[in-house]
């Protein structure tokens, strides 16, 4: 059983959703990334979504695009991100780590080589934003051989037939994009989210996480009442940008936000 599966099973038995913070590897400086990963785990994260810097992050809004740009200035690429995970694993062998990125850097290394390197470093899952299931046979085969969970996005406009197709190839969890548009939007309708999650769950027993638009502890709690995981990114990246010149202040601010969100997620734990 994968680390992701174990973590979700444990949380389901406890009756609460997972809290999965997103950070961009190398933002604002490469040397802080592993420290930040440990900090968010200490503050209450159940898993980590680690963004791979890319020059054209099409699914991301201005906040996370800027994070990619800051990381790229330090020449942080996919091999460096894998090294960061390996360093993180030296003292944390339990927290699941999911890489979130785009297909181009994987193609540069080659799907087989990437999957092998990532798995050996301790990566558990990979969310490749621009990889449709229909075009992913080589990459998905490489992931399967290496034991990596392929994670796919489902949006508010995804039709039921496509939900079924995505569910068949997904592992780990399914990521529901709660809003039309890019990351960092700020309007959530939890009733609509609940209806869509019900439609997704008709086709899978996998946990369903919700991201895009979760901006504070209050919205995290609301989503945790209906979802199996709460994924938060832009709210964290805004803090990182604001505190980028003071690493201790950055770590403390992010840790405080994660702790607030963890408390809100736990308060919403009566959904099962």
User: Pick the catalytic residue: 27, 49, 149, 228?
Assistant: 49
- The residues with which 127 forms a beta bridge, in sequence order, are 100, 151
228 Cβ contact list (under 8 Å, min separation 6): 8, 11, 12, 17, 18, 173, 207, 208, 209
Cβ-Cβ contacts under 8 Å for 34 (sequence gap 6 or more): 84, 87, 88
Catalytic, 49? Answer yes
What tokens appear for 249 in the block? 């202040």
**Which is catalytic among the residues 27, 46, 56, 60?**
60
Question: How distant, in Å, are the alpha carbons of 113, 116, 146, 259, 268 from that of 141?
Answer: 12, 12, 9, 38, 37
Is residue 228 annotated as a catalytic residue, yes or no? no
The catalytic residues are 49, 60
């Amino acid at each position: 059983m994968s680390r992701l599966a174990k973590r979700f099973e444990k949380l389901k038995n406890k009756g609460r959703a997972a809290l999965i913070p997103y950070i961009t590897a190398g933002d604002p400086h490469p040397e802080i990334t592993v420290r930040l990963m440990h900090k968010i785990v200490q503050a209450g994260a159940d898993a980590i979504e680690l963004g791979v810097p890319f020059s054209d992050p099409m699914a991301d809004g201005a906040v996370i695009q800027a994070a990619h740009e800051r990381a790229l200035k330090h020449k942080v690429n996919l091999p460096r991100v894998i090294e960061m995970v390996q360093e993180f694993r030296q003292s944390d062998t339990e927290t699941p780590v999911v890489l979130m990125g785009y297909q181009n850097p994987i193609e540069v290394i080659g799907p087989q080589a990437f999957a092998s390197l990532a798995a050996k470093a301790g990566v558990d899952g990979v969310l490749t934003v621009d990889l449709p299931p229909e075009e992913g046979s080589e990459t998905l085969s490489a992931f399967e051989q290496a034991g990596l969970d392929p994670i796919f996005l489902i949006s508010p406009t995804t039709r039921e037939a496509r939900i079924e197709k995505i569910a068949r190839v997904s592992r780990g969890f399914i990521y529901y994009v709660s809003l039309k548009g890019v990351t960092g939007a700020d309007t959530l309708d939890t009733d609509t989210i609940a209806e869509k999650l019900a439609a997704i769950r008709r086709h899978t027993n996998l946990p369903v996480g919700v991201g895009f638009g979760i901006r504070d502890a209050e919205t995290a709690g609301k989503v945790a009442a209906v979802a199996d995981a709460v994924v938060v990114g832009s709210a964290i990246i805004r803090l990182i940008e604001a505190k980028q010149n003071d690493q201790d202040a950055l770590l403390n601010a992010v840790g405080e936000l994660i702790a607030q969100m963890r408390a809100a997620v736990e308060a919403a734990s009566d959904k099962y």
